[in-house]
Chain A
Amino acid sequence: MIPVSFDYVRAASIPEAIQLLKNSNGEGKLIAGGHSLVPLMKFRLSNPGTLIDISDVNEMKGVGIVGSRLVVGALTTHAEVAEDTAVLAHLPVLAEAAKQIGDMQVRNKGTVGGNIAHADPSADLPAVALALDAVVHLTGEDGEEKVPIQEFLLGPFITSLPETSVVTAISFAVPPAGTQSTYLKYFHPASGYAVVGVCAVGGKTAEGLVNHVRIGITGAGDCAFRTEQAEKFLFGKPATLENIKQAASLAAADGDMGEDLFASSEYRAHLCKVYTERALRKVLG
């Protein structure tokens, strides 16, 4: 559990980080909190030639409201998100999820940008990002770019992030007034990551018809996914228990279920259903 040797540099700004990435000829890697990258390096699964430490780049820190979206700087830590007044006021589900990440040490170091950029299939925030129509803000050699989360997350630890780009912020859509949201997590007893994590946002009309529903699921498979079939089934229908159950039974349909020592794909699919039902009952009940 000793990494191979590497160079270490600090970037003071976003342009400098991009320049340093360019200089490293594909051998460089950004490091933010280091809580995903360093474990991989210790296993020698990731062997970057140069670590470019971006943790001093202040313009990538903090939370703000821009129009109907909440923008979270990439370097904002999970602990900061969990206690941020803007997050608690406008997107409490993000704080609810952040609180369930790892332990206190992990939350104090791990960053929102790192969590999304790492695309760990068991990480919590991708589910929230999917349910809240998140957009990933990138800055690269050719300037700034905004990539919808579904186009950003491509597979296990795979994203569409260009080699010399930096994730500067993630913006989340604040759901319409009157909606409810929740993040329910089934913890892996060993790692503490999500075996299944379901983020659901739901709203209904005065007559009880579902007029807003978004469900993001993480942990279950190779990549976090949105349960479009379940959403489609429920949208416009009365928010009855029966309809919720039927929608939940479609929860696993949009993802490829994974498998590990702890849980088979069959069990994971089942958990998608149970946790989706529980989440929907909470937000639509």
Chain B
Amino acid sequence: MTKVVGKPLKRKEDPKLITGNGQFTDDIKLTGMLYMAVKRSQHAHARIKRISVDAALKLPGVVAVYTGKDVQDKIKPIRSIWLVPGCDLIAKDRVPLAVDKVNYTGEAVAVVIAESRYLASDALDLIDVVYEELPAVVHQEAAIEGSAPVIYNDVPGNVAFTWKAGEVPEEVFANAEVVVKQRFYEQRVAANPMETRGAVAQYNPGSGELTLWCTSQNPHIHRLQYSEALGISETKLRIIAPDVGGGFGAKIAVYTEEALAAFAAMDLKQPVKWIEDRQEHFLATSHARDQVITTELAGTKDGKILAIRTRNVASLGAYLSTMGAGVPTIDFGLMVTGAYTIPYAQAETIGVYTNTTPTDAYRGAGKPEASYQIERIVSLFAEKIGMDPVEVRRKNLVQKGSFPYTNPMGCNYDSGDYQKVLEQALEAAGYAGLRKEQEEARKNGRLLGIGISTYVELCGLGPSAVAGAIGFGGGLYENCTVRVHPSGKVTVLTGASPHGQGEGTTFAQVVAEKFGIPIEDVELFHGDTHMISMGWGTYGSRTTPVAGGALAIAADRVIEKAIKIAAHELEVSPEELKFEDGAFMVKGDPDKKRTFKEIAWSANNAWNLPAGVEPALEGQCFFDPPDFVYPFGAHICVVEVDPDTGVVDLKKYVSVDDVGRILNPLIVEGQVHGGLAQGIGQALWEQTVYSEKGQLLSGTFMDYAMPKAKFFPMIESSFVESPSPVNPLGAKGVGETGTTAAPSAVVNAVMDALKPYGVVDLEMPLTPEKVWKAIQKGRAVK
């Protein structure tokens, strides 16, 4: 067979994107299109006394203004779809527009529909909202103190839920030789995809059909939710996610602005466009992380870890977002023991409402937080018992041969050789040499630090039965149709919704190799609920493991049928044929053959099909994986801290990842690099900051430090491939490795560098001033 799987092919989808020929939501222009702009609250917590819209309505070119009162009976609140069971969850749904009270800065209070985007923006200034300010509560630890203002009367103490999993018998900690305890803060960050959110809504009053183009990672979830909110049948609502310029989790959530644009289009019977600007994006699109995690580790003096106990106080923001409850509970709590064989584990998460933008998934979603606390505490444990952090990891990593390994929370790590990956990373980084170099550097007052992270993450969401059990309001199978046209060209349709991950190329590679045809002959189609029967979308590193599984099976179904047709034409039994390099050949008589292209034509013209075989050539599969996948990796980071300024210089970053079978190493490496940029970004620069009164202080790129290419050294990435047994391609998912691994690798490195000053922990991001102050303090103590 033509070998294309595993080749570093350039992405098929890039030429159009880099030549400006992509078709994003904002590129859609319809006749008679109106524009929506959103009036947002400037207060974090306030009662709405009065809204006057008359002046705005009088502005020539303004077509309509809607307030919360206008739409409250017409658009239902948007439900969160992940109602985690067993934790007394009180879900506060996003309302389309605030009616009596605003609960975070940036919450929508009214929308203007006008003939141009400029007029709509001007009209916002003419809407007068009179507020009565209420005390705001911004930080989750303060929010659960008795004296804190309460956001919802029926949510005492602002506690949305208290979730628990696992149990560590008290005597394990009481009798432990060593106990290490540390409080970590996973700061609030924002995904900031290059394309902000947006929507174009078109209503056909004749058919009653509504088409909504929007920036979605999961159009079918959006269809389900918006059909409910707007009271439209799913048969009449078509969601199209055209080219989507990155999502990183922020475009999973179902928001209200898109529903408002859709409502306005129906109400006015004219197309309506809304494009979020960057300032709005900072306020209105989900934030992430914001978890205060206290971790305790019980261990032995010789480095064996006995138990992990965590308490996570997580800020949900002012409303429960689409996956808001699942991230700090299931996604975090089930993975608190990381890549180690730890007998006991216990996790508790308190979900807290605060007067801030709702939080939801962001690249990794819960796993980066889980990985951070375990990787940091393991390094602190090593420090405490005077053992090299590598040695402690060697001692506790899940051993080769024990896969599938079931962790104390019940997760079945699928496959791998964790030791081998670690040794490969140590070798690539020259670990022994680095420690010598560090010793020398320290003698000269130079602060060199080496950080290690051996992470594992739960990916490839997931078996639908598990989804049901954990309160996820939907399935997590995925769908692929492989449609062979009369010419032998192939369209693949998937329910996943890639938005930069490169499946247009990798899926084409799989099909091309299976059918023995050029990859140019294969096109991937996705993101249209009228064309694709069902799907759950792209997130949780699931597209290749789950949708790719459906793809492989669907393609095999095509081959199965094609063999029957070829055998019929060649007048042999199907068993007498073999399929190789795009040809069905009679075994032992390879000249007697039919090409894939010929059979595509035969199947589609149906002139001469075997009995019982239907016309056309199409395979479909709804693949529901038997379990999750668990990418593993060892990352090593080397930093040098400038003692005069506290600036952290990234000198070296080595990653070795086992992401299962690799379909395209170029794309996989790109995913690793991108994830690392965001993971290192969280460690060193990124931070969403509110004032005490709930004003967003980091609301532009002048203050929110998105990492730039020049901040990074060359990343030395390599891979070990242990195929996953839970899907046909053996893939494990690679999209979230970087954000999961990097924060702890970097922080461990900086803490190692600061060891001469007795620094134990600093909160991310490790900004130079913070590091400098820690050095000053260390000097004073010395």
Contacts from A to B (Cβ < 8 Å): 1-2, 4-5, 43, 186, 188-192, 260-264, 267, 270-271, 274
Could you tell me if B769 and A267 are in contact, using CB atoms closer than 8 angstroms? yes
> CB of B399 within 8 A of chain A?
no
Contact at A5–B706, with CB atoms within 8 Å?
Answer: no
Contact stretch, chosen from B117-125, B135-143, B355-363, B364-372: B117-125
Contact A190 B701, CB 8 Å, known A270-B772, A274-B645: yes
**Within 8 Å CB of A188, what residues of B?**
705
From B704, B769, B772, give the contact of A190 (CB < 8 A): B704
Which residue of B644, B702, B711 contacts A274 across the interface (Cβ within 8 Å)? B644
Contact with A along B678-711 (1 / 0, CB 8 A): 0000001101010000000110111111101001
- In the complex, whether B491 has a CB less than 8 A from a CB of chain A is no
**Would you call A263 and B705 a contact (CB within 8 A)?**
no
Q: Please, which residues of chain B bring their CB within 8 A of the CB of A260?
A: 703
Contact pick for A261, options B645, B703, B772, CB 8 Å: B703
Complex Cα–Cα for A103 and B689 (A)? 26
Expressed in whole angstroms, the Cα–Cα distance for A14 and B228 within the complex equals 62
A24 CB to closest chain B CB (Å) equals 20
Are B118 and A5 touching (Cβ within 8 A)?
A: yes
Q: Give the chain A neighbours of B437 by CB distance below 8 A.
A: none
Of chain B, the residue at the smallest CB distance from A1 is B277
Shortest Cβ distance from residue A285 to the other chain B in the assembled complex, whole angstroms:
16
Residues of A within 8 A of B772 (CB): 267, 270
Evaluate whether A2 and B118 lie within 8 angstroms (CB atoms) in the complex, with A262-B769, A263-B769 already known. yes
In the bound complex, how far is the Cα of B706 from the Cα of A261, in angstroms?
Answer: 14
Cα distance A175–B702 in the bound complex, in angstroms: 35
Interface contact B685-A189, CB-CB below 8 Å: yes
Chain A residues with Cβ below 8 Å from B279 are: 1, 43
Q: How far is the CB of B641 from chain A (nearest CB, A)?
A: 14
Task: Select A262's contact among B700, B703, B773, beta carbons within 8 Å.
Answer: B703
Answer yes or no: B767 CB below 8 A from chain A CBs. yes
Name 12 extra pairs, CB < 8 A, besides A1-B277, A2-B277, A274-B645.
Answer: A1-B278, A186-B645, A189-B684, A189-B705, A190-B685, A261-B697, A261-B698, A262-B705, A263-B769, A267-B768, A270-B645, A271-B645
Count A-B contacts at CB 8 Å.
52
Cross-chain pairs A/B with CB under 8 angstroms, 20 sampled: A1-B277, A2-B37, A2-B121, A43-B700, A186-B645, A189-B705, A189-B711, A190-B685, A190-B703, A191-B701, A191-B703, A260-B703, A261-B698, A262-B705, A263-B769, A267-B768, A267-B769, A267-B772, A267-B773, A274-B645
Q: How far is the CA of A43 from the CA of B699 in the complex (A)?
A: 12
Contact of A2 among B117, B644, B685, B704 (CB under 8 A): B117
Report chain B residues within 8 Å CB of A4: 122
- Shortest Cβ-Cβ A-B pairs, 3 listed: A190-B705, A2-B121, A189-B705
B interface list, Cβ under 8 A from A: 37, 117-118, 121-122, 277-279, 644-645, 684-685, 687, 689, 697-698, 700-706, 708, 711, 767-769, 772-773
**Residues of chain B with a CB closer than 8 A to A267's CB:** 768-769, 772-773
**Which residues on the B side are within 8 Å of A1 (C-beta)?**
277-279
In the bound complex, residues from chain A placing their C-beta under 8 Å from that of B687 are: 261
Q: Which residues of the other chain, A, contact B277 by a CB distance below 8 angstroms?
A: 1-2
Q: A1-B279, A186-B645 are in contact. Are A262 and B121 (CB under 8 A)?
A: no
Most chain B CB within a 10 A radius of its CB, from A5, A43, A271: A271
Closest to B697 in A: A261
A36 to chain B, nearest CB (A): 12
Residue of chain B at shortest CB distance from A270: B772
| B313 CB, min distance to chain A CBs, angstroms | 23
Question: In the assembled complex, which residues on chain B have CB atoms less than 8 Å from the CB atom of A2?
Answer: 37, 117-118, 121, 277
- Which residue from chain A places its CB closest to the CB of B704 in the assembled complex? A190
Given the complex of chains A and B, what is the CA–CA distance between A4 and B122 in angstroms? 7
User: Nearest CB to that of B711 among chain A residues?
Assistant: A189
Report the bound CA distance from A190 to B687 in whole Å. 11
Q: How many Å lie between the Cα of A76 and that of B341 in the bound state?
A: 65
Please measure, in the bound complex, the distance between the C-alpha atom of A101 and the C-alpha atom of B277, giving whole angstroms: 25
Contacts of B702 in A (CB 8 A): 190-191
Q: Provide the bound-state CA to CA distance between A260 and B698, in Å.
A: 10
Cα A263 to Cα B277 in complex, Å, equals 27
Kindly state the separation between the CA atoms of A85 and B679 in the bound complex, as whole angstroms. 43
Contact between chains at B122 and A261 (CB < 8 Å): no
Give CA–CA (A191, B706) in the complex, Å.
Answer: 9
Q: How far is B69's CA from A13's CA once the two chains are assembled, in angstroms? A: 56
Q: Which residues of A have CB within 8 Å of B645? A: 186, 270-271, 274
Contacts of B684 in A (CB 8 A): 189
Q: Once bound together, how far apart are the Cα atoms of A264 and B768, in whole Å?
A: 11
Bound-state CA distance A192–B710 (Å) is 11
Nearest-neighbour CB distance to chain B for A185, whole angstroms, equals 13
Cβ of A191: which chain B residues have Cβ within 8 Å of it?
Answer: 701-703
Bound: A261/B121 CA distance, A: 29
Across-interface contacts of B118 in A (CB, < 8 A)? 2, 5
Measured CB to CB, the closest approach of chain A to B769, in angstroms, equals 4
Cα distance A2–B767 in the bound complex, in angstroms:
32
Determine which residue in A189, A190, A191 has the highest number of CB atoms from chain B within 10 A of its CB, and name it.
Answer: A189
Among B278, B279, B645, B685, the one with the most A-chain Cβ atoms within 10 Å of its Cβ is B645
Contact yes or no, A261 B689, CB < 8 A: yes
| Smallest beta-carbon distance A196→chain B, Å | 10
Chain B nearest Cβ from A188, distance in angstroms: 8
Distance of B747 from chain A, by nearest CB (Å): 17
State the CA gap A2–B121 with chains docked (Å). 7
User: In the bound complex, what is the Cα–Cα distance between A5 and B114 (angstroms)?
Assistant: 15
Complex-state Cα separation, A261 to B187, whole angstroms: 14
Chain A residue with the shortest CB-CB distance to B698: A261
B27 to chain A, nearest CB (A): 18
Q: Considering residues A2, A5, A188, A192, which has the most beta carbons from chain B within 10 angstroms of its beta carbon?
A: A2
Shortest Cβ distance from residue A261 to the other chain B in the assembled complex, whole angstroms:
5
Chain A residues in 8 Å Cβ range of B711: 189
In the bound complex, how far is the Cα of B647 from the Cα of A271, in angstroms? 11
**Which single residue of chain A is at the shortest CB-CB distance from B278?**
A1
Alpha-carbon gap, A2 to B116, bound state (A): 11
A270 to B698, CA, bound (A): 24
Q: Which residues of B contact A262 (CB under 8 A)?
A: 703, 705, 767, 769
Q: Which residue of B lies closest to A2 (CB)?
A: B121
How far is A186 from B644 in the complex, measured between Cα atoms in Å?
A: 13
B495 CB to closest chain A CB (Å) equals 35
Residue of B nearest to A273 (CB): B644
Q: Note all chain B residues with C-beta closer than 8 A to A190.
A: 685, 701-706
Residues of A within 8 A of B697 (CB): 261
C-alpha gap A274/B773 in the complex (Å)? 15
Q: Nearest chain-B residue to A274 (Cβ)?
A: B644
Q: Which residues of A contact B767 (CB under 8 A)?
A: 262
A37 to B698, CA, bound (A): 21
Shortest distance from the beta carbon of A194 to any chain B beta carbon, whole Å: 13
Residue of A nearest to B773 (CB): A267
Chain B: minimal CB distance from A119 (Å): 17
Which residue of chain A has its CB nearest to the CB of B772?
A267
- Write the nearest CB–CB distance from B134 to chain A, whole angstroms: 25
Residue of B nearest to A260 (CB): B703
Give Cα A1–Cα B278 distance, bound, in whole angstroms. 8
The winner among B121, B697, B711 for most chain A CB atoms within 10 A is B121
Closest to B687 in A: A261
- Please, how many angstroms separate the alpha-carbon atoms of A271 and B277 in the complex? 35
With a CB–CB cut-off of 8 A, which chain A residues contact B644? 274
Closest Cβ of chain A to B711, distance in Å, is 7
Smallest beta-carbon distance A6→chain B, Å: 11
| Complex Cα–Cα for A270 and B704 (A) | 23
Distance A270 CA – B685 CA, assembled complex (angstroms) = 20
Closest chain-B Cβ to A246's Cβ sits at a distance in Å of: 16
The CA of A271 and the CA of B279, in the complex, are separated in Å by 30
Q: Given the complex of chains A and B, what is the CA–CA distance between A191 and B697 in angstroms?
A: 14
Residue among B279, B685, B703 with most chain A CB within 10 A: B703
Cα of A190 to Cα of B706 in the assembled complex, Å? 6
Q: How far is the CA of A5 from the CA of B644 in the complex (A)?
A: 48
A47 to B700, CA, bound (A): 19
Min CB gap A41→B, angstroms: 12
Report chain B residues within 8 Å CB of A43. 279, 700
